[in-house]
Structure 1
Amino acid sequence: MNVFQILPELNSGGVERGTVEFGRELVRRGHASTVVSAGGRQVARLEAEGSEHIQLPVHRKSLLSLQWVRPLRRLLVERKPDIVHVRSRVPAWLAWLAWRNMPAQARPHLVSTFHGMYSVNAYSAVMARGERIIAISAAVRDYIIENYPGADPETIRLIHRGVDAAEFCHGFMPSPQWREAFFQANPGLVNKRLLLMPGRLSRWKGQLDFIALMAELRRRGIVDIHGLVVGSSDGAKQQYERELRTAVQAGGLQDSVSFLGHRNDMKELYAIADIVYNLSNRPEPFGRTVTEALSIGTPVIAYDRGGPAEVLRDCFPPGLADPATLATVTMDVLSQAPAIALKQHYLLSTQVAKTIATYEELL
């Protein structure tokens, strides 16, 4: 098959990383993989792993982006993909407008993935216009059925986002060189139990809850712990980062919480952490960090809502919490972490197989 994936950019983020991984897996199975985006730091990896990248500014939420409908249609006519797979709303609009005016017998099949619980309006409704609609969790599938009456439930396929078990392998240990460099750069973390809070610095992601948790654990006499906040604060989110740092200072937690910024060594950080957290204050569609950490064998604690709760109910029920029980659940897991059993349907190999099967239905 000749598969085009279209998304805004290829920088950080779960959708972007998943697109790159899926492109690699398509190539491994003998298919042609092309990604259309505005570019970004992951383009080099994408191309090194065998996919082609075509740079178009399909990321801007502006009516001016409509000027790219015709160039995109010409691209589809010239390159003749079998599948066009859209992963975000602006690119989905551009792709759908280009696609719908192609002759029916000559146009590719259109697939969309709901990577989020999008706002319910005409702008988001384009994600329900694919010939097949992929929901990345049961929570997202139910959201689509409840809020998008134009989406035929028969076209929806539940395909969980999969973790690469070869990369995030169970029992992985960082190299001695990595450990030495990391703890030399962060000497205050030596001999501490590490609590890891990964995710973009955004208010809804729950970093303030994590800082409050660190304060509560100290109040309960748990002093051999250190919190690691991992994630960047691009653009408008810089004010939120300042708010987080102020909260750390106000709680007297300067020696108990560190901000590590954007990192490219998440696998190593999962491996040295005693617990990984997902504390989003609204339902998340999935939560990639949850399956990555569980795959390595590190316990995860998340609020009992949305996609992360779905994963924990399947694979690590003791990690389910709410704001009132967060500290108690943390202490229980620190005292004796129960066994983790990551189910087959959360693996990348399963995701790839189910997605290719969805393509083949259409072909």
Structure 2
Amino acid sequence: MKPLKVLQLLPALDSGGVERGTLEIARALVSAGHESVVLSKGGRLVEQLQREGSRHIARDLGRKSPTTFLQYRALRRLFEQERFDIVHARSRMPAWVAWLAWRGMPAQTRPRFVTTVHGMHSVSRYSAIMCAGERVIAVSDTVRDYIRTNYPPSRWPHLADERITVIPRGIDPAEFPRDYRPSEEWLERFRAEFPQIGQRKVLTLPGRLTRLKGHHDFITILGKLVAEGLDVVGLIVGGEDPKRPGYAKEIRERVQAEGLDQRIVFTGHRSDMREIYAVSDCVLSLSSTPESFGRTVLEPLAMGRPVVAYAHGGVAEILRELFPQGAVAKGDVEAASRSVRSILAGKAEAVRANHRFLLAEMQSATLSLYSGSFKKHQSSTIR
């Protein structure tokens, strides 16, 4: 089989799970001898993408505006010129433009059209485009069930089960190794930057400062533990949302009002999450809405660090596989506090080894899907 030429489309290449997954598949394509191209408006990850052997095409297809749809003719010309074998859309607006471009091409010569449903968007005709792929990738069983429930074949005849493939996101064990310990130099710098930590037990809540991530519940849990006499400190790790600065101000003011300013540290965005997980006695995930996967739960668990989390969505799947003891009902801060207390007292079971959610498995399954889609198209064209 000849090498494939694969185009992935997404709004931008700045940061986030979709962006990371795009780079991971691009890297796997290059490593396997295929040609990898990514189309986005650009961002800070473009340099890494190109350094790892992929080509980037700068085009803004992410802006939610009627004029963005008009770019489908230019995109169709690009498809015809480049002769991609696979077009893989990862976000709604780029998927719409790509689909409009793709459907106007002759069936015998157009590329295979693949989509990935990364999140559980509000159910609408606009969101339904993510289920329009000839093959649809769901990033978890939760997402597959969301597709089946909200876009049933009775209303969406093209969405038969054989078009949907569950490919869980995965991590590289070398990037988040079991029982990893940071260097003494890193520990010195980190403790100097955040002297509140000292020798206290560390609880960490990773995630951008948005209301959905459960920062208020985290403050409540930490306040309970401090009131009980536990010597703990909480790390809120994540950058502020520039569109909602009021929320960051709100949680900072609550920390001050409750006298927890020496017990809760706002680290901002960090690129050393592996080290932060390693010094954490417990990581928490308190999202008020179910996540499609839950990378910030998987990463510390893969390192053997216990996680207490609201067990819904993809997070529940990960906990069930690796650390059932950390699962609590959404919003149950009392149960979450008890679980954290048990972990800090050394009463938790060991975190199970991660054999399912692996980057290499995700990359291999995605490339197999590409190859299978292309071979199927070749055989149907010959007939």
Q: Same fold (TM over 0.5)?
A: yes
Q: Which residue of 2 aligns with 1:309?
A: 316
User: How far apart are 1:175 and its partner, in Å?
Assistant: 2.1
User: How far apart are 1:277 and its partner, in Å?
Assistant: 1.3
Aligned counterpart for 1:126 among listed residues 110, 126, 129 = 129
Aligned counterpart for 1:164 among listed residues 160, 172, 197 = 172
Q: After the TM superposition, which of the residue ranges 171-180 and 46-55 deviates more from structure 2?
A: 171-180
Q: Deviations over 1:60-102 (max 9, x none)?
A: 0111112321222122111111111111101110111111111
Q: Which amino acid aligns with 1:140?
A: V
Q: Which amino acid aligns with 2:142?
A: A
Q: Which residue of 2 aligns with 1:327?
A: 337
Q: Which residue of 1 aligns with 2:209?
A: 201
Cα RMSD of the aligned pairs, angstroms, is 1.2
d(CA) in 2 for partners of 1:356 and 1:134?
Answer: 12
Query: Is the CA contact 1:344–1:350 (under 8 Å) kept in the aligned structure 2?
Result: no
Q: Which residue of 1 aligns with 2:58?
A: 55
Query: Is the CA contact 1:345–1:351 (under 8 Å) kept in the aligned structure 2?
Result: no
Q: Deviations over 1:261-304 (max 9, x none)?
A: 11111111111111111111111111111111111221111101
Q: Which residue of 2 aligns with 1:251?
A: 258
Q: Which amino acid aligns with 1:130?
A: G
Aligned counterpart for 1:17 among listed residues 8, 17, 20 = 20
Query: Is the CA contact 1:38–1:58 (under 8 Å) kept in the aligned structure 2?
Result: yes
Q: Which residue of 1 aligns with 2:188?
A: 180
Query: Is the CA contact 1:8–1:88 (under 8 Å) kept in the aligned structure 2?
Result: yes
Query: Is the CA contact 2:8–2:90 (under 8 Å) kept in the aligned structure 1?
Result: yes
d(CA) in 2 for partners of 1:168 and 1:79?
Answer: 37
Q: Which residue of 2 aligns with 1:72?
A: 75
d(CA) in 1 for partners of 2:213 and 2:88?
Answer: 27
Aligned counterpart for 1:101 among listed residues 100, 104, 111 = 104
d(CA) in 2 for partners of 1:129 and 1:341?
Answer: 37
Q: Quick check: 1:33 aligned with 2:41?
A: no
Q: Which amino acid aligns with 1:40?
A: G
Q: Which residue of 1 aligns with 2:200?
A: 192
Aligned counterpart for 2:9 among listed residues 6, 13, 18 = 6
Q: Which residue of 1 aligns with 2:379?
A: none
After TM superposition, the structure 1 = structure 2 runs for residues 282-321 of structure 1, keeping only pairs within 5 Å, are 282-321=289-328
What is the total number of aligned residue pairs between the two structures?
A: 362
Query: Is the CA contact 2:40–2:58 (under 8 Å) kept in the aligned structure 1?
Result: yes
User: How far apart are 1:344 and its partner, in Å?
Assistant: 2.5
Secondary structure, counterpart of 1:4 in structure 2: strand
Q: After the TM superposition, which of the residue ranges 115-124 and 177-186 deviates more from structure 2?
A: 177-186
TM-score normalized with structure 1 length = 0.97
Q: Which residue of 2 aligns with 1:45?
A: 48
Q: Which amino acid aligns with 1:212?
A: T
Q: Deviations over 1:218-273 (max 9, x none)?
A: 12221x21111111123222111011101111211000001111111111111111
d(CA) in 1 for partners of 2:167 and 2:73?
Answer: 32
Secondary structure, counterpart of 1:309 in structure 2: helix
**Stretches of 4+ moved more than 4 A in 1?**
none
Bigger Rg, which one = 2
Q: Which amino acid aligns with 2:227?
A: R
What percent of counterpart residues are identical?
A: 48
Secondary structure, counterpart of 2:88 in structure 1: strand
d(CA) in 2 for partners of 1:24 and 1:171?
Answer: 27
Q: Quick check: 1:274 aligned with 2:281?
A: yes
- Gaps of at least 5 residues in structure 2 are 375-383
Q: Deviations over 1:19-71 (max 9, x none)?
A: 11221122122221111111111111111111111111111011111232122
d(CA) in 2 for partners of 1:293 and 1:2?
Answer: 35
Secondary structure, counterpart of 2:251 in structure 1: helix
